[in-house]
Amino acid sequence: MLDLLIIMVVLTNLRLLATSRIESLISWAGIQGMVLGIFALLSRWKHLEPDIFVVGLAAFSFKGIVIPAMLFRLVVAVRSKREADPYVGFIASNLIGLLAFVGALWLGHRLPIPGNDMSNLVLPATLFSIFSGLFLIISRKNAISQVIGFLTMENGTFVLGVGTLYYAPFLVEIGALLDILVAVLVWSVLIRYMNRAFHGITTEQLTKLKG
């Protein structure tokens, strides 16, 4: 069951790499968030403590609902529908993603988490999520795509956090989730400013400061 959820995280990552529509990016990121929330809850189902319950619920609602909602409103506000022309095309992105997943699997076997009794896929999924997030940030030009990339990266770390028995203390996880929420808030404000100042939210225009 847990493996299935982890596979779903991987698949959503691949989907994120393949889509050009901003709205679908946001939805898939939201779906990934929900999957993670469920994953957090299920991973401790047998002896569910209140704090892990809160973390799982918070992850589900923040990552799966609140943040996507904020981003959807943002898309409406800035009227940016598509990732126009990314540095790396979508099919190529997907192929690279697949390759990266193979690499992540290999790396995960090289670096097994000692005494992990949950799933061998946790570390590969973490690494792959981080890779996907980074890849989104590097290869996309649309500011919202980059935000999604960051979220994906954070999701990867979350997988590691809750995917093993040795998760971080409650306050840390909640703090991290809150930080991400505020970060997206800051970003959405920034993107609105950008849209006003640059008449668009592609980062191609943001190359004046250099040298």
Q: Per rule CB under 8 A, is residue 47 in the interface with another protein?
A: no
Q: How many CA atoms lie within 13 A of 51 on its CB side?
A: 10
Name the nearest CA neighbour of 145 among 194, 72, 83, 69. 83
Q: Per rule CB under 8 A, is residue 193 in the interface with another protein?
A: yes
Partner residues linked to 21 by β-bridges = 82
d(CA 140, CA 92): 13
Size of the site for another protein (CB under 8 A): 54
Name the nearest CA neighbour of 162 among 174, 152, 150, 151. 174
Minimum distance from residue 166 beta carbon to another protein (Å) = 5
Contact string 80-119 vs another protein (x = CB under 8 A): -------x-----------------------x-xxx----
Q: Per rule CB under 8 A, is residue 120 in the interface with another protein?
A: no
Q: Per rule CB under 8 A, is residue 70 in the interface with another protein?
A: no
d(CA 106, CA 112): 10
Q: Per rule CB under 8 A, is residue 168 in the interface with another protein?
A: yes
Task: Give residues 124-143 in contact with another protein (rule: CB under 8 A).
Answer: 126, 130, 133-134, 137-141, 143
Part in contact with another protein (CB under 8 A); list of ranges 28-36, 55-63, 73-81, 188-196? 188-196
Task: Give residues 148-167 in contact with another protein (rule: CB under 8 A).
Answer: 150, 153-154, 156-157, 160-161, 164-167
d(CA 199, CA 162): 41
Two structure tokens written together for 66? 């609140």
d(CA 143, CA 190): 10
Nearer to another protein, 79 or 210 (CB): 210
Two structure tokens written together for 190? 């920034």
Place of tokens 């982890």: 6
Q: Are 184 and 70 in contact (CB under 8 A)?
A: yes
Nearer to another protein, 26 or 127 (CB): 127
Residues at the contact surface with another protein, assessed by CB under 8 A = 87, 111, 113-115, 126, 130, 133-134, 137-141, 143, 146, 150, 153-154, 156-157, 160-161, 164-173, 175-176, 179, 182-183, 186-187, 189-190, 193-194, 197-198, 203, 205-211
